[in-house]
Structure 1
Amino acid sequence: MIDRRTALKLTLGSVAALTAPAVFAQTQAKPRTKMVFLGTKGGPRVGVGPSNPANLVVVNETPFVIDCGMGVSHQLASAGVPLESVKYIFISHHHSDHNLEYGNLVYNAWATGLSTPIHSFGPKGLEAMTKTYWELNKFDIETRIEDEGRPDLRKLLIAKDITEDGVVLQTPDVKVTAFRTPHPPIMDNFAYKFETPDGVIVFSSDTSYNPKLAEFAKGADVLVHEAIYLPWVDRLVTRVKNGATLKKHLLESHTAPEDVGRIADAAGVKVLVMSHLVPGELDVTDEDWRNEAKKAFKGRIIVARDLMELKLPL
C-alpha cells in the first residue's frame, strides 16, 4: 500500500519512491512540465485512504489545478506546492467530489499569503458558486481584511463559466481546450486538453464510454482517464440499500478499464493513466486495473496513486 504522504516519481518508464514529497522550489534537475496526481479515488466519500479527485499540472513553475475534491489543499501542501502559487483552477463538472473544496482552496491560498489573481474555469454555475462562497464567508473575509491587512480575496478570484467546447485559456506556455463528454445525468461536463512545451496531456473527466473522446485525445502524450471496476460494482450492490439505483448510475456514467484501453488505443496515446478509480481503496489491485485495460491497449499503463508524479517530456 502506498503512503499518501510519499510521492512517487515516474521517469522514462521507471518508478522511484521518494522518502519525502518533492520540494516545489528545488532547482536541481527540475522538469519544465510535470503532473502530480493529488487525489485518485473517485466518489464523494471521505476516508483515511486515497484522497478525493484532484490533479496538478506544473509548467515553468506555474501550477494548474484540475478539480478540487476534499483534501486538495492538503495534497498540494504534501506535494510541496505553496498554495499561494496557484494561478489556475479547472473544474470538470459540478459533482461534489470535484468542486467541494474549490472555494476553500482559494481561501487557504489567501491564508498563506495569496496576493495575485487566480483564474478559475468550469461548467455553467461556477460563477454563481463563487459569488455564493463570498456571501457565505463575508464576515470572516472582511474581518481578516481589517484585522490582518490582507488584500480583498473577492477581487483575486476571477471565475468564468464554460458554455461551449473550445480553447478556454491561452498563455505563453500552455493552451487549454475544453471538450464536453457525457457523465449522465450530468451533461455539462468537460474533459480538458493541456498543450505544453513538453507534450500534450488530456484529462477525461468523469465520463461514460465515449469514442469521441479518442478523437479529442488523438496523439496525446498522456491520457488520464477515469475507470470503474465492474466486478466490484456487483459486490457493492449487495451491501447497500440503494444498490439497484446506484448500480444503474455507476454503469451509465463511468467507463470500464477495457473500454478505457479502447479509448487510449484509438487515440494512439503514449501513456495511459487510470485515475479517479472506483473503488479508490485497494479492494482492486494495480494489476487488476492494468490487466483489464491491456485487453485493448498495448502501450504503457499507469495506475495512479496519490502524490504520484509524472514528468514530461516522456
Structure 2
Amino acid sequence: MTPNYVALLGTKGGPSVRTGSSMPTSNLVVLDGQQVVLDCALGVTRGLVDQGINLKTLSTILISHLHSDHYLELGPLIHTAWCSGLTTPVDVYGPSGLQDYWDGFVASMKVDIDLRIDDDGRDDLREFVRIHTINAGTVFARNGLTITAIRTEHPPLIDSFAFSFKTNDTHVVFSGDTAPLKRLEEFARGADLLIHEAMLESALPSLLERIGNGSEKLMQHWLRSHTFAHDAAITAANADVKRLALSHLIPSDDPKYGPSDWQAACAPHYDGKLIIGHDGIRINL
C-alpha cells in the first residue's frame, strides 16, 4: 500500500535565492495513492524527482495564490513532465489569472512545443492541461479525497487560499500565506498535521537590512500579510491539531537563527509535536 505523507519540497518564504538559502515554497501531498502538488516555486521539479516521483505521473496541481514564489515553475514543471513521457491530462486548480499565466507560458514555448510534436511524436501539450479557477469551498472530491479551500488574509491579494485535505482517516491543512487567521482554527480543527507559514519576529530587522532596498514597504508587507511563529503556534493550539509543521520560513537562511529559535518561539503556546520544515523533509501520516 502506498504510504501517506507530506513532503515539503521548498520551505523558504519569498522569491529570492541566495547562497546557502533553501528554495521557495512547493509541497507534495500523497494520500490514499493520490499525488497532489501544492504550489510550484523555483525548484519544484527537482524536489519532486528527489522524492522519487516519476514526472509522467503528474496529474493534479494546486496553486494557492499568484505570488511568484508559489507558481513561477508551474509551466516548466508541466513541460518537463511532458518531455519525460507525460501523456495524460493535468488538472491545475488555482486563482483567477492562472489561465493567463499558462497561455503566456505555452505561447513563449511555441517553437519548442511544435518541434517536439513534429520531431518526437508527442501529443500537443496545449490540449491536455486543464486550468480550473477556484473559490472558497470544495475544490474537488474524488476517490475518497476531498480538498476544500478558504481565503486567507494576504493583502493586497484577495484570491489567496488555505487548503484542507481530508480522507476517511487523515486530515492535513496548509495555511497558505496569511496573517493570523481566526477562521483557520475551525478549518484545521483536530487535523493530524497543520503546515503553517512562519516568521521569526526578532530576525526581521536584520533580514530587512540584508535584502531590503531602503524602503519600509517590505517590512509593512511582512507585518500585514504573514504570521509570526508564536501566532502560528497559538492557531495550532486553539485548533487542537496533533502536529504543527512550520514552513515558508522568514528568514530561512540567517546563520544567527536555527531550529532552537523557532522552537523557543512556539513552546509557550503549543505543546504538541513541532516540526521545523526544511527542503525535502518527508512527514509521514
Residue equivalent to 1:213:
184
Q: Residues 79, 116 of structure 1: CA spacing in aligned structure 2 closer, same or farther, 3 A cutoff?
A: same
Aligned to 2:230: 258
SS in structure 1 of the partner of residue 220 of structure 2? helix
Q: Tell me if structure 2 keeps the 8 A contact 1:121–1:159.
A: yes
Q: Number of paired residues?
A: 282
Alignment check: 8 A CA contact 1:42 1:97 kept:
yes
Task: Specify the alignment match of 2:90 in structure 1.
Answer: 118
Amino acid at match of 1:236: L
- Find the counterpart in structure 2 of residue 133 from structure 1: 105
Q: Distance in 2 between the 1:196 and 1:242 partners? A: 47
Match of 1:238 among 209, 212, 233: 209
* Segment drifting more, 258-267 vs 122-131: 122-131
Out of 43, 62, 87, the position equivalent to 1:71 is: 43
Structure 2: which amino acid aligns with 1:58?
Answer: V
Contact 1:36–1:310 (CA under 8 A) maintained in structure 2: yes
Partner of 2:174: 203
Offset at 1:131? 1.6
Residue 227 in structure 1 maps to residue 198 in structure 2: yes
Answer whether contact 1:261 1:297 (CA < 8 A) is retained.
yes
Alignment gaps of 5+ in structure 2? none
Q: TM-score scaled by structure 2?
A: 0.95
Q: Distance in 1 between matches of 2:161 and 2:118?
A: 39
Residue range with higher mean Cα deviation, 229-238 or 201-210: 229-238
Q: Which SS does the other structure have where 2:40 is aligned?
A: coil
Deviation, structure 1 residue 242: 2.9
Q: 1:73-88 residue pairs with structure 2 within 5 A?
A: 73-88=45-60
| Aligned equivalents of 2:209, 2:244: Cα separation in 1 | 32
CA distance in 1, matches of 2:207, 2:17: 17
Structure 1 distance, partners of 2:117, 2:130, is 19
Equivalent pair of 2:136/2:149 in contact (CA under 8 Å): yes
Structure 1 segments of 4 or more deviating over 2 A? 59-62, 236-243
Aligned to 1:301: 274
- CA–CA distance in structure 2, aligned partners of residues 94 and 242 of structure 1: 25
Letter in 1 for 2:111: F
Whether contact under 8 Å (2:11, 2:278) holds in the other structure is yes
User: Matches of residues 149-228 of structure 1 in structure 2 within 5 Å?
Assistant: 149-162=121-134, 164-228=135-199
Of 50-59 and 241-250, deviating more is 241-250
2: CA distance between counterparts of 1:227 and 1:130?
Answer: 30
Identity percentage of aligned residues: 39
Superposed CA RMSD in Å reads 1.4
